[in-house]
């Protein structure tokens, strides 16, 4: 009976928890204890929560209950347990980026977004694992080790916010704070069967993380964006009501005072929505293509006008992503890495960035001639640039953004639905050989547009792969990931114009309602 009660509590959404605590149907202490016990049950197999803060959380829950008994005003997240990605500043905890030589770091105060969550009444259960230096789509590093996917322990939950996605999917946390530089919220959400939102670039501050631990000087070109992860779309909106509340520009003057829109004011009926299942850069797996098509049908049934569309030149967008990322020849990453050994997933990239120009051209040509077409393109793009060449690159990027928005305007599209990425949850270590499988997510980082992922279905028998045989090692690695993928979650990505997160959330909510009715909706992983 006790276990049933714990399961009932950890199955609740953050919105439901907040409502039940406010109505005194549950206490904050009961809710926190249930989630602590769930983390203790699953974390030995997942390794998702790497900095537990359980005793602090228990005390804060007692304080929250006492405040409620006194009749104090309650915040939107009063008593709601949350987890925080390790990269964020949480007072008295490490923000190490998975680096051994940074294990003794301790933040002296909470970052602005973490503080907003606390001020709204949220109770932090712990911090979750990331990729080393946040720089690849797995959550693995020498300091904390490897995080496993709750749907299949031989698979990765993604990265760099993979620890968040894994523990949320497993019921250890109803709500989390992640960050997205190249799909780092959306791909883990897709891999683990949860929901995630990357707001418009610049919507939220980046002051919550330590400077100097990635090539932050380059992020004018690819600004990262923090955002929420949860098991329901309503919870994403609830979190954003806190994170994007007025006044953030007083903390960080680079944040424009754009009001946070109410997603419930948006009707899906009448929206014009573009859809595509192939971006022309990397073929998506059959199950992923299926759910995007099903999403289009569901939205049409709700009165939206959904039309097939081809996004402008995604190859060009990926050139910007790799070229901007490597414009300093990855010297910023090397400096941050210090005495730590680079993870295999980034060591090749660091070597490529360090090549002299003529050698890079020669190596790229040799790779192309040997059938390594995709890798040859990346090697050619990942060299250092002069300041003048970097600003020229950003100008070209801006021109591409305008071209993309003009194409949306020509179709009068309010939103886009497409794959989150080309594959379901990857095998551990496989992203060493898959440097560019995530073009679907990275496109919206290049554009700076808001985008979210909504859980949809699971890979069915007979739709693991239809990828043709290839000599290209990247394509072969993709086929290997697809093999044995039956049962893994898949999601749909939704994007909209800048500052229109309300449209993203409204479309995601409509799709969530539709997909939840299906038998293979990814509700409870087998852990």
Non-local CB neighbours of 115 within 8 Å, separated by 6+ positions = 109
Q: Let me know if 139 is a catalytic residue.
A: no
Q: Tell which residue, 361, 362, 416, 353, has the closest CA to residue 385.
A: 353
Given 27, 156, 184, 509, the catalytic residue: 184
Q: Positive or negative, the Cα torsion across 161, 162, 167, 168?
A: positive
Q: 133, 140 in Cβ contact below 8 A? A: no
Dihedral pair phi/psi, residue 212, rounded to 5°:
90, 5
Q: Tell which residue, 517, 521, 434, 515, has the closest CA to residue 479.
A: 434
* Residue 305: strand pairing partners: 272
Question: What is the C-alpha to C-alpha distance for residues 417 and 308, in angstroms, rounded to an integer?
Answer: 10
Q: Let me know if 103 is a catalytic residue.
A: no
Given 160, 173, 215, 376, the catalytic residue: 160
Given 27, 29, 85, 161, the catalytic residue: 85
Question: What is the C-alpha to C-alpha distance for residues 482 and 231, in angstroms, rounded to an integer?
Answer: 25
What does DSSP say about strands 175-180 and 225-230: parallel, antiparallel, or unpaired? antiparallel
* Residue 75: strand pairing partners: none
Three-state secondary-structure class, residue 230: strand
Cα 281 to chain centroid distance, Å, stands at 21
Question: What is the C-alpha to C-alpha distance for residues 449 and 223, in angstroms, rounded to an integer?
Answer: 11
Three-state secondary-structure class, residue 492: strand
The H or E element containing residue 455 is: strand 451-458
Q: Structure tokens of 259?
A: 């009001």
Q: Let me know if 352 is a catalytic residue.
A: no
Question: What is the C-alpha to C-alpha distance for residues 441 and 186, in angstroms, rounded to an integer?
Answer: 7
Burial tier of 89 (Cβ tally within 10 Å: 0-12, 13-18, 19+): buried
Question: What is the C-alpha to C-alpha distance for residues 393 and 391, in angstroms, rounded to an integer?
Answer: 5
What's 16-66 look like in SS3? HHHHHHHCCCCCHHHHHHHHHHHHHHHHHHHCCEEEECHHHHHHHHHHHHH
Question: What is the C-alpha to C-alpha distance for residues 423 and 317, in angstroms, rounded to an integer?
Answer: 19
| Residue positions annotated with a catalytic role | 85, 160, 184
């Amino acid at each position: 009976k006790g276990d049933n009660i714990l399961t009932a509590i950890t199955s609740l959404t953050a919105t439901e928890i907040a409502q039940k605590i406010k109505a005194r149907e549950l206490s904050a202490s009961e809710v926190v204890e249930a989630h602590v016990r769930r983390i203790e049950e699953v974390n030995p197999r997942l390794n998702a929560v790497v900095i537990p803060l359980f005793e602090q959380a228990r005390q804060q829950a007692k304080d929250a209950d006492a405040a409620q008994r006194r009749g104090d005003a309650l915040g939107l997240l009063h008593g709601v347990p949350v987890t925080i990605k390790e990269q964020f500043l949480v007072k008295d905890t490490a923000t190490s980026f998975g680096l051994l030589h940074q294990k003794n770091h301790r933040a002296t105060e909470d970052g602005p977004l973490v503080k907003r969550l606390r001020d709204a009444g949220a109770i932090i259960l712990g911090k979750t694992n990331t990729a080393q230096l946040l720089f690849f789509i797995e959550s693995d590093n020498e300091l904390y080790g490897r995080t496993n996917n709750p749907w299949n322990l031989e698979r990765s939950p993604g990265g760099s916010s993979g620890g968040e996605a894994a523990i949320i999917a497993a019921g250890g946390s109803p709500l989390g704070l992640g960050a997205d530089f190249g799909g780092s919220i959306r791909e883990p959400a897709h891999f683990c069967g949860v929901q995630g939102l990357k707001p418009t670039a610049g919507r939220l501050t980046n002051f919550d993380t330590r400077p100097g631990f990635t090539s932050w000087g380059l992020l004018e070109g690819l600004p990262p964006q923090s955002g929420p992860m949860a098991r329901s779309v309503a919870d994403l909106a609830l979190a954003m009501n806190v994170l994007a509340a007025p006044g953030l520009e007083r903390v960080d003057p680079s944040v424009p005072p754009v009001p946070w829109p109410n997603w419930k004011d948006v009707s899906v009926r009448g929206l014009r929505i573009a859809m595509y299942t192939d971006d022309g850069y990397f073929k998506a797996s059959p199950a992923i293509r299926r759910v995007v098509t099903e999403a289009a049908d569901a939205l049409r049934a709700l009165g939206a006008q959904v039309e097939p569309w081809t996004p402008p030149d995604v190859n060009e967008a990926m050139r910007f992503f790799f070229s901007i990322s490597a414009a300093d020849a990855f010297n910023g990453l090397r400096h941050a890495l210090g005495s730590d050994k680079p993870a295999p997933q980034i060591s090749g990239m660091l070597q490529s960035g360090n090549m002299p120009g003529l050698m890079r051209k020669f190596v790229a040509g040799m790779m192309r001639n040997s059938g390594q077409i995709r890798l040859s393109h990346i090697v050619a793009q990942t060299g250092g640039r002069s300041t003048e060449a970097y600003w020229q690159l950003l100008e070209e990027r801006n021109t591409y953004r305008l071209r993309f928005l003009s194409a949306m305007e020509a179709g009068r599209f309010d939103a886009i639905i497409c794959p989150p990425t080309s594959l379901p949850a990857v095998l551990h270590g496989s992203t060493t050989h898959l440097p560019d499988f995530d073009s679907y997510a990275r496109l919206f980082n290049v554009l700076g547009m808001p985008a979210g992922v909504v859980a949809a279905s699971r890979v069915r028998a007979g739709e693991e792969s239809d990828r043709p045989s290839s000599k290209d090692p990247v394509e072969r690695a993709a086929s290997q990931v697809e093999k044995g993928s039956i049962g893994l979650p898949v999601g749909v990505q939704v994007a909209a114009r800048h500052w229109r997160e309300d449209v993203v959330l409204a479309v995601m909510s409509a799709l969530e309602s539709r997909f939840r009715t299906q038998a293979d909706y990814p509700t409870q992983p087998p852990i």
